[in-house]
Amino acid sequence: MKKIVSKTLNCLVVEDEPLAAEGLAEYINTTPFLTLHTVCNNAIDASGILHNHQIDVLFLDVHLPIVKGVDFLRTLIKPPQVILTTAYQHYALEGYELNIVDYLLKPFSYTRFLAAVSKVKHDNAQNQMNRTFHFFTIDKKQVKIFEDEIIYAESLKEYVRITTINRSIITKMSLTELEATLDTSRFIRVHKSFIVSTDKIDAYNSSSIESGTYTIPIGRTFKESVTNMLNSL
């Protein structure tokens, strides 16, 4: 099922200058269609936040400690929409080569900020049209879950636990029934009791898969097919 969903956009600010971070936070809180999720001052913390939470907009400073902003951006396989913030205009071209939405040259006004995030809002509305979701029965209610938010699913006999980046739900259905509804190019059965999103896999070996803080076992009879699929990604 597909549908346009109206919501505020979760923002992550990665900025090591306190005054600049405070200014961005104020601009975000002033904008009705934006929500400030987190402010952090380095790429390492940002990486963990991006993996474990649904972030729609990343405000990324170019000059960060340890790992520079552009270098960090190169490591992201599927980044959210990115707006670079920098005091140096020559970084703009490099940023656009990495598919950023816009760059903000410090210091910037709220008007300039609003122009940048309006591009994000427009692009997000287009992307929402292509987000696949499913409704699952939970406590006599139909609850919507987007496929791109699912990390893994686990069989609990007559029920299935679906763990997403935001929450975990339990619904009455078999794992095989769930598997039949999911996009087979994005999900893989790795065990008689587990299905995993290939987008959320951080590491794997012959016996298990790691996704953030989760470790999912690979069943003995699934090892060859799992290895072949993951090697082809």
Q: What is the C-alpha to C-alpha distance for residues 99 and 93, in angstroms, rounded to an integer? A: 10
Separation between Cα atoms, residue 131 and residue 203, nearest integer Å: 25
Average pLDDT, the chain: 89
| pLDDT tens sequence across 61-85 | 998 988 988 899 988 888 899 999 9
User: ∠ CA 67-15-77 to the nearest 5 degrees?
Assistant: 50
Chain-centroid distance of CA 54 in Å reads 5
pLDDT the model gives residue 227: 86
Listed in order, strand segments (DSSP E) in 81-205 are: 81-86, 102-105, 133-138, 141-146, 150-156, 159-164, 168-172, 187-191, 194-197, 203-204
User: Could you tell me the domains of the chain?
Assistant: 9-128 (3.40.50.2300), 133-232 (2.40.50.1020)
CA distances from 47 to 162, 200, 231 (A): 23, 13, 24
- Measured at the CA of 81, the angle between CA 119 and CA 64, to 5 degrees, comes to 115
Residues in CB range of 216: below 8 A, 6 or more apart: 152, 190, 191, 194, 196, 208, 209, 210
Rounded CA-CA distance 13/81 in Å is 12
pLDDT at 193: 97
The SS3 call for residue 181 is helix
pLDDT of residue 77: 80
* Contact yes or no for 71/92 (Cβ under 8 A): no
- Crossing angle, helix 18-30 and helix 110-128, to 10 degrees? 60
Average pLDDT for runs of 10 along the chain of length 233: 58 96 96 96 93 91 89 88 86 70 92 94 74 89 92 95 93 95 92 94 91 93 89 76
